[in-house]
Each structure stands twice: as C-alpha cells, then as structure tokens.
Amino acid sequence: MEKYKKIDEKISEGYKLLERGQTIEACDVWLDAWEDIKTVMAADKVKDLPTLQEKYKWTEFVMNYMQDLDEQLYNAAIEKPQYFSKRIRYCEELLELCGNKDELIIENTRRSIAESHYALGNKQECDRLFKMWLTEDPAWGWGYIGWADCYRYGTKNITADNVKAEEIINRALEEKNLRDRADVVDRAIEIYTALGKNQQAAELEKELKELRTASKGKTVANTPVTVIKIGRNEPCPCGSGKKYKKCCGK
C-alpha cells in the first residue's frame, strides 16, 4: 500500500501547487505521479483506471485528477508550448488505460489530443484524427465542435479560419442522428454570424429555440422541479464520484 500512498501524496501536492497558481510545477508533479501510476498498474496487473480507483482509498477521485491534469497541461502550454507535446503523450496513454466504459472521458481526451496537434501547428494531424474518429462515430456532436473551434479561434501562430470552421460545422448539421445538436446549432450560429451570414444564423436561431423547447417539454407534466445549484468542482449528484464538471455538468 505504500506505493499507492506515495502516488496519492504527489497528487495532493499537485493540487496545493495549483491553488498557489503554480500551474507548471503542478503539472510536473502530476506527470511524475502518472509515471508511478503506470508502473504500479503494470506491476500489479491492474487492467484499467476504474479498477485502480477501487484498489486504494484515494484522497482525490483518480479520474478527476487525470482530467484535471489534461486541463492544466493546456494552461501550462499557453506559457510553454512544449507542454502541448507532453499533453499529447499523456492523453494517448490515458486513452489506452481508461477503459471503454466512460465515453465522456474518451471523447474529451480525443479532443485534447487533436487540439494540441493543431496548437503546435500540425493542422494535418488534427484533421486526420478528427476525420478518423468522426468516421467511427459520425453522431459525435462535440467532436465537430472541437474540430471547428480549432479553426474558429486559431492560435498565436495560426490565423483563424471561419470558412473552414463553417465547412466542419455544416458536416455536423447534415448528420441526422447527431448528439448534442443544440450545442452544435449554437456554435453554428456563432460561426455564421462571424461570417456575416445573418439569414442562415437567423434560421438556426429558430431551430435552436425549437430544440430547447422540445428539451424542456421532456419534463414530466405537473411534476415539481427542484433546482439545486451544484458547484463545478463538487461531487456529481448522480453518484459517480466524479466532479460535476467532469460528469453531468458538461
């Protein structure tokens, strides 16, 4: 159990560094903890991260730490771009070990990999990855959004390209079984507006209103609805053990 305790201590140390605004130092400590995790999993023949979570009583929910590391590697890369390469490597390893049950983690991690390639100036690899994953799952709404956002916002060294972003988001709108269609339509409206295509944006505004109305209509009639404000970093009320922002608070 001592080896697990040391990993747990490193994870906790990373959060303390993060609270003090030391993002790069926190990432370095967390990446060190990640190397230990891989070593322990191999030695103890732990098949995936959910199993690792159950094996030891962690101070932090392990999958929260791993997703927070992904997020903070991006923040570190804003200051030091080499952390985008570290993020790619980490996320590729995370995909191999996270198991195949948590679709949200898989989707978010895939986006992080492709977006990091784009941030490093490798647009071809970004496009290749998104095309591959969307061929496997053409209904992945947030995949189209993530891909379009790369071109919509650009980087310090890459000029934004709303025309390319429009091309990507139009692919999504043509998908009949698209998941999270309201979010895709919302993003499409922003892109069309940026391009000065106000008529198309107005038409989508109508669709978005209908989608939101239909979504509200799913609430059972005459059933009182209690609204509870949940902090983004608080445990998700669904009982998963994850932070709300990493689970149902997408």
Q: What is the pLDDT of residues 104-158, one digit of tens each?
A: 999 999 999 999 999 999 999 999 999 999 999 999 999 999 999 999 998 877 8
Q: How far apart are CA 237 and CA 22, in angstroms?
A: 30
Tens digit of each residue's pLDDT (9 = 90 or more) over 38-79: 999 999 999 999 899 898 889 888 889 999 999 999 999 999
Q: The whole model's pTM is what?
A: 0.85
Residue 240 reports pLDDT greater than 70: no
Give the per-residue pLDDT at 221.
Answer: 44
What's the rounded mean pLDDT across residues 199-221?
83
Cβ burial, residue 163 (10 Å; 0-12/13-18/19+): exposed
The pLDDT assigned to 218 comes to: 63
Supply angle C-alpha 223, 226, 228, rounded to 5.
155
Distance CA 181, CA 207 (A): 10
Report the distance separating Cα 12 and Cα 134, nearest Å: 36
Mean of per-residue pLDDT scores for the chain: 88
